[in-house]
Chains A and B, each alone.
Chain A
């Protein structure tokens, strides 16, 4: 365990930034936190979490994949990837760290997504424990410990000091390069962890149960008559999917860039009427079906294919951001039987 004083955090970040470019949550003009590149004078936000999730680093909203040039009858395929340098994402919360594991199980299985993989390999994650969770947090329901988040390095912030613990070789290598961190014992961090655990127990969603979801529940839940009420006023806007750290659907398209064709991908949303256009059109004709898809995917289909791991990390963004305040918690409480009454 290492530590530095709260007032020295900027000089520590400056040193990390010499080893690899650092991104951290910074308050914007609207007072909300977003990840920004570190620079002298940028302050680490006090906000609990960023407006957009950290998945942007590995799975950006838009990304050019390749270019095509035609000359006569020949088509040249150009790989436009530039070599990536290592980078550090500092200040990731436990929920978002878990979201990377969920994305890995999609992008890193055969056929491996080499774009995602390259960024994943270059990314170093410094997580931070949550001193002041929100009422919308329910990471605990998915077995995430907000007092001790995963990542290459874990950080705890108390009033006076910031504590650093490396969890992987990558993390240890990085911390070794930083001067100004002093060795210390675990006492202060243990105290902080206990404090956070107490808060987690007091959260309004502390007892949310996943008991009635997971592998094997498809037939039971798919035809529930509850979906009608739940999806009744859904706007189909897709806000929930775009703020979600684990939503992973994308569309691939080409555009004419004047001298050639560029193939790119961008996030897509199962909530959209033009999602997954097949030759016969979008297979889910009603908003009820689209709405059901999003939540069944997170709570049933994903765990079905991924050793029981749920496709939600309880970050609460869809709770805070849905224009009609409909979200996964309301779905779980409505469909979740006795345990969630």
Chain B
């Protein structure tokens, strides 16, 4: 389904390594199956040719890795960025979280990434091979003699169904064609939640958040969560908890996190992608984004480097706190 080919990415990486522009490459590494791809650092043409992969399961957003990678390495690192990743990239730069001088960013177009869970809902378990063929994924399982065809569009990851932009907002070099910002329907689900009664909404989140195992994957993958030591990991903070002891603590972690990334979350969707309990965490963050848009005017975190987020910026047009209070009557 991807329009840009694996070969062209490997070729680009090899030439940048060989001409000395970069000394390492942050890319996707082949797994056991065709969908279990691991972010990896490649240092030679041989490694790239052997293990680099680019397919419909390369969802991982590399921006956050730049924080640790540019800290440690002397040379430049090549990073491939999908359009949504470039927003995280800019946001991290805005917060001075990595050294731009040590990065060579190559923007690559993206047609949307598949969600293996959705593929499995269609074909079941026992997948031995997944190949891309035009608009389809051709899935071979150990249970069926003939491979099963799945339309890519039907198994897109949630964040890709609601992709907000095919346009890259940062790169040193762009491969393939540039896209446009999209009028996505990403707030529809938030509106559905807003229309619920407070009791219904409470029950919805209670059901979702009670599944949380506090593995912290959502936080650890989040490009907006780059504190060296999270308050929830600090035994001296008084709020450290490795497991929620009751349903209040369950919610506290998520609500505090949502507040902490408010105005900085680019809606990259990594939190929901990695949650092992399939909790739709993006809905919490999207609610904040939607409110910020409504209260302070349209704002997209990471759209440009150096943007001042509405929550840390004061203008005379800012709405009065009382107006927020008044909105309670229509549940929002």
- Whether A232 lies near B41 (C-beta < 8 A) is yes
- Judged by a CB distance under 8 angstroms, whether B274 is at the interface is yes
Pick out which of these stretches binds chain A: B122-130, B257-265, B284-292: B122-130
Q: Which residue on B lies nearest to A32, using beta carbons?
A: B278
Give B285-303 as 1s and 0s: 1 = Cβ < 8 Å from A's Cβ atoms: 0000000000000000000
Task: Report if A204-B128 is in contact (Cβ < 8 Å); known contacts: A232-B40, A238-B216.
Answer: yes
- Whether B126 lies near A134 (C-beta < 8 A) is yes
A258 to B241 alpha-carbon distance, docked (Å) = 18
Task: Report if A135-B126 is in contact (Cβ < 8 Å); known contacts: A205-B32, A321-B276, A330-B38.
Answer: yes
- Whether A135 lies near B243 (C-beta < 8 A) is no
Main secondary structure of the interface of A (DSSP, over half): loop
B273 surroundings in chain A (CB, below 8 A): 323
A34 to B124 alpha-carbon distance, docked (Å) = 18
- Whether A325 lies near B37 (C-beta < 8 A) is yes
A324 surroundings in chain B (CB, below 8 A): 38-39, 60
Pick out which of these stretches binds chain B: A102-110, A270-278, A288-296: A270-278
From B121, B214, B221, B229, give the contact of A323 (CB < 8 A): B221
- Whether A133 lies near B243 (C-beta < 8 A) is no
- Whether B142 lies near A135 (C-beta < 8 A) is yes
- Whether A236 lies near B31 (C-beta < 8 A) is no
* Interfacial residues of chain A within 309-324, with CB under 8 A of chain B in the complex: 319, 321, 323-324
* Interfacial residues of chain B within 223-257, with CB under 8 A of chain A in the complex: 229, 233-235, 240-245
A284 to B328 alpha-carbon distance, docked (Å) = 49
Q: Report how many residues on chain A are interfacial, defined by Cβ distance under 8 Å.
A: 52
- Whether B245 lies near A135 (C-beta < 8 A) is no
- Whether B217 lies near A267 (C-beta < 8 A) is no
Q: Which residue on A lies nearest to B127, using beta carbons?
A: A135
- B: contact size bracket: 35 or more
* Interfacial residues of chain B within 69-97, with CB under 8 A of chain A in the complex: none
* Interfacial residues of chain B within 267-315, with CB under 8 A of chain A in the complex: 273-274, 276-278
Give A30-57 as 1s and 0s: 1 = Cβ < 8 Å from B's Cβ atoms: 1110100000000000001001100000
A328 to B211 alpha-carbon distance, docked (Å) = 25
Query: Which 4 residue pairs are nearest across A and B when measured between Cβ atoms?
Result: A323-B274, A134-B125, A266-B243, A325-B36
Query: Interface of A with B (CB < 8 Å)?
Result: 28-32, 34, 48, 51-52, 61-62, 132-135, 199, 202-205, 229, 232-233, 235-239, 241-243, 251, 255, 264, 266-269, 272-274, 277, 319, 321, 323-327, 329-330, 333
Query: Interface of B with A (CB < 8 Å)?
Result: 31-33, 36-41, 60, 65, 121, 124-128, 142-143, 207, 211, 213-217, 219-221, 229, 233-235, 240-245, 273-274, 276-278
> Told that A235-B221, A277-B235 touch, could you supply 8 new A-B pairs with CB distance under 8 A?
A29-B207, A132-B126, A204-B128, A229-B40, A235-B220, A273-B229, A324-B60, A325-B37
